[in-house]
Structure 1
Amino acid sequence: MTIELRHLRAFLVIAEEGNITRAAARLRLSQPALSRTLRQLEDQLGTRLVDRSTHHLELTAEGRTFRDKAAAALAAVDTALDPRSLRSWPLRLGHPWAALGDHTIALLRRWDETHPDVPLQLLRIDDRTAGLTQGKVDAALLRGAVPRAGLRTELLVSEERVAVMSADSPLAALPQVTLADLAAHPIALNTVSGTTTMDLWPSAARPTATIEVSNTDEWLMVVAAGRAVGISTTATPSNHTHPSLVFRPLVDAPPVPVFLAWREGPGHPAVPDLLALTHEVVASGAAGTRVSRGSTPPP
């Protein structure tokens, strides 16, 4: 048997619905037909993708890995068959938040100047890999650990952490803050794509309250409303200025690495050019910052 696109699409719907009956209704198939399609796929791969021992269907470890591969494969097919891609092949650059920080505008301008025939699309996707493992983008700007197998990464820069609070917070009166200062307040955690966890604090001095959110917009609103304080990086102030938000250096937390990530294997041919240009832009920005800080003020 040859695996066809219908097998992949059926499996992804099953994985999303977590139930064969609902998946069959969504696909407008009978339940026996969908179960047969799933068995065919598993037989061809030689492994069990779905654990059927519970009432709520669960993916096996192999099933979770295959889900990402199947999504990426279908996205690649959809892109290849899109008539618009025959005229130009956009390079899709994903990010879950803050893109490349202060370097973002410079990167976009430099790309337009040097690669006018390859549109660079900057896409914010609320996902740990900014849609990279699902094939929604060709490369991604990611912060913190990138543990996913099948990805290649290269370090671009490290960003210092900042504490973020509402303008009327008592912490706003401090020129800089520490983790101990924050521990007395609820902490806003972006559990989908954020880099802050309770592991930042010593186990005996962790905050007792957290507010979990699923994207950057919710995180900003929770902090601006004074319901919690947040931890981010120096990339955030330039991208999310707001009169209700105050940013202060967080002096005792480790910096956050920023990577360019892309999938292993065949991909967009312009990814190497993007990597090279991103390094150039970051280096130019760092050099400009050093010159600015070291310059002598005019008499």
Structure 2
Amino acid sequence: MSIELRHFRCFLAIADTLNITRAAARLHLTQPAVSRTLRQLEQGLGVRLVDRSTHHLALTPDGVAFRDRAALAVTAFDRALAHPHDTTWPLRLGHAWSAAGARTPALLRRWHEEYPETPLELLRIDDRTAGLARGDVDAALLRGEVRTPGLRTAQLTTEPRVAGLPADDPLARRRTLTLTDLADRTLALNTVSGTTTLDLWPPEARPAATLPIGNTDDWIATITAGRAIGVTTSATPGMHPHPALTYIPLTDAPPVPVLLAWREGPGHPRIPDLVRLAREVMGSPAADTHTPDAPGADYRRSS
């Protein structure tokens, strides 16, 4: 039996819902048809993708690894058919939060001036690779370490870290803070696309508790509600100001690398131009690397 695109779509529906009934409803198929299609895919690949029992369904390690490859194939197929008569090929640039920071307008304007025939579409996608690994974008602006196989990166710059505090917090009156100043607080952690983990602190001086959240909007809402404090980079104050949120520079936290990432192999022909322009705008001529080997101003704001 040959593997077809319908097998990929079926698996992705199961991977997204982790439920055969909901996957069947999404695909407008019967549950037996979905189960049968999944079995055919697993037999064709020679691996088990889904661990399923009466009360449990989860992706196997092979299923997790295959999910991004399947999504990439489906996205490429759909995109090829979407605009068959359109001579333009937009360049989709993903980001999970803050894009290029304060330099975002300059990057977009420079691109439009130099490459008006190729629209640059900036897309926020709450994902570790901002949709790049799944094929939702052609390139992505990412922060922190990128370990996803199959990606290449160019480091553009680094950004100092800042603390995010409720504007009425006593620490919000300070001009600078240290990580130790935050050790007795609850820390809001963006577990989907954030760059902050408890490893930022020494084991004996870590925040008292953590509050996992999934995106920048929830991170801001959690802090402004007084439920937690946060740590982010200097790009966030300019891109996400809030009247109830104050950003204070951290003097002893290591800076965060800002990377432009793209997939290995064939891709959008304008990616080399984007790398060059992003380096010019954001200021670092660092050499690009394979990701598996990849290793202050006053930002106080309560606007």
What TM-score, normalized to structure 2? 0.89
For residue 160 of structure 1, report the CA deviation from its aligned partner: 0.6
Deviation string, structure 1 residues 47-77 (Cα, Å, up to 9, x no partner)? 2212235631211111111111111111111
Amino acid at match of 2:121: Q
- Residue matched to 1:74: 74
8 Å Cα contact 2:222/2:228 also seen in 1: yes
Deviation string, structure 1 residues 186-234 (Cα, Å, up to 9, x no partner)? 2111111111111111111111122222111111122223322111111
Superposition pairs for residues 124-203 of structure 1, below 5 Å? Answer: 124-203=124-203
1:5 aligns with 2:11: no
> Larger Rg: 1 or 2?
1
- Residue matched to 2:287: none
Q: 1:229 to 1:22 in 2, by over 3 A?
A: closer
| Structure 2 unmatched ranges of 5 or more | 285-296, 298-303
SS in 1 for 2:283: helix
8 Å Cα contact 1:94/1:124 also seen in 2: yes
Aligned residues: 285
User: For the residues of structure 1 that align with 2:41 and 2:4, how far apart are their CA atoms?
Assistant: 9
User: For the residues of structure 2 that align with 1:116 and 1:85, how far apart are their CA atoms?
Assistant: 19
1:64 aligns with 2:64: yes
- Residue matched to 1:40: 40
- Residue matched to 2:249: 249
SS in 2 for 1:81: helix
Amino acid at match of 2:235: A
User: For the residues of structure 1 that align with 2:251 and 2:85, how far apart are their CA atoms?
Assistant: 47
8 Å Cα contact 1:154/1:261 also seen in 2: yes
| Structure 1 unmatched ranges of 5 or more | 285-292, 294-299
- Residue matched to 1:287: none
Deviation string, structure 1 residues 231-275 (Cα, Å, up to 9, x no partner)? 111111111222322221101111111111111222111111101
Amino acid at match of 1:101: G
- Residue matched to 1:238: 238
Worse-superposed segment, 23-32 or 66-75 = 23-32
User: For the residues of structure 2 that align with 1:156 and 1:85, how far apart are their CA atoms?
Assistant: 36
Superposition pairs for residues 245-284 of structure 1, below 5 Å? Answer: 245-283=245-283
Q: 1:148 to 1:28 in 2, by over 3 A?
A: same
Deviation string, structure 1 residues 77-109 (Cα, Å, up to 9, x no partner)? 111111277231110000000101122111101
- Residue matched to 2:288: none
8 Å Cα contact 1:79/1:85 also seen in 2: no
RMSD: 1.8
- The structure 1 segments of at least 4 consecutive aligned residues displaced by more than 4 Å after TM superposition are none
8 Å Cα contact 2:8/2:70 also seen in 1: yes
Worse-superposed segment, 116-125 or 202-211 = 202-211
8 Å Cα contact 1:260/1:275 also seen in 2: yes
- Residue matched to 1:290: none
Deviation string, structure 1 residues 19-47 (Cα, Å, up to 9, x no partner)? 33432343233333322222221222222
What TM-score, normalized to structure 1? 0.90
Superposition pairs for residues 92-107 of structure 1, below 5 Å? Answer: 92-107=92-107
Q: 1:85 to 1:155 in 2, by over 3 A?
A: farther
User: For the residues of structure 2 that align with 1:180 and 1:91, how far apart are their CA atoms?
Assistant: 43
